[in-house]
Amino acid sequence: MNFQEIDKHIIPMDGFILKWRFTEEKYDLLPDNYLNELKPLDKEASHFLDNYISKTTLHNQIPFKKDFFRVIDKARILEGNEKEIKKWLYHRALPFDKTVFLSWDRETSMKTKWKFLVKYWDSFFYGGSDDLTVFDESLEWALLFFHENEIYWGTNREFESEDKFDESWLPY
């Protein structure tokens, strides 16, 4: 398997173990047009992504292997700072239509666009239970949502957005 074949491994949301996070009013009920942009992956694709992360030794140390990235930034998730986290994610300066891969564990993964992760980050990540790695196939950057309510951003990129954050810019 490779990244070009991942789309063959998309499964319906009904078959996704974490679907409740996005489809139940008690947690978060995403509109159908946004829900359709979340592409859960089957076990084979999830294994592929997990193996990719392991083979690169990305997490040999927490949050990232020493010297894997030139820049590491951190945010702390606190009660009531959801907008600050959204702003922090926005300032990672990735294009909103950037395809990203989310890997919770060896059997649970998803493909979506960066804009949906920024908007619904608190549906994708549940502190205390999740370790979630978000990346693209270049691995020039990665996010680790760590179960202790911390988010780590590692990058080799030069540019980080210093633009003033305005939530109305988000394209949804």
pLDDT of residue 161: 47
- Asked if residues 135 and 142 have their Cβ atoms less than 8 Å apart, the reply is yes
Q: Where are the beta strands (DSSP E) in 80-157?
A: 99-105, 108-113, 132-135, 141-146, 150-155
Domain count, the chain: 1
Do you know the residue count of the chain?
172
Chunked into runs of 10 residues, the chain (172 residues) has average pLDDT values of: 96 96 94 95 98 94 93 93 93 92 97 96 90 94 95 80 46 44
pLDDT of residue 18: 97
pLDDT of residue 171: 45
- Asked if residues 58 and 142 have their Cβ atoms less than 8 Å apart, the reply is yes
Residue ranges making up the domain that contains 87: 3-169
Give CA–CA dist 157/32, Å, rounded: 34
Q: Euclidean distance between the first and final Cα of the chain, in Å?
A: 33
Which helix (H) or strand (E) segment holds residue 85: the answer is helix 82-90
pLDDT of residue 158: 65
Q: Is the whole model's pTM more than 0.85, yes or no?
A: yes
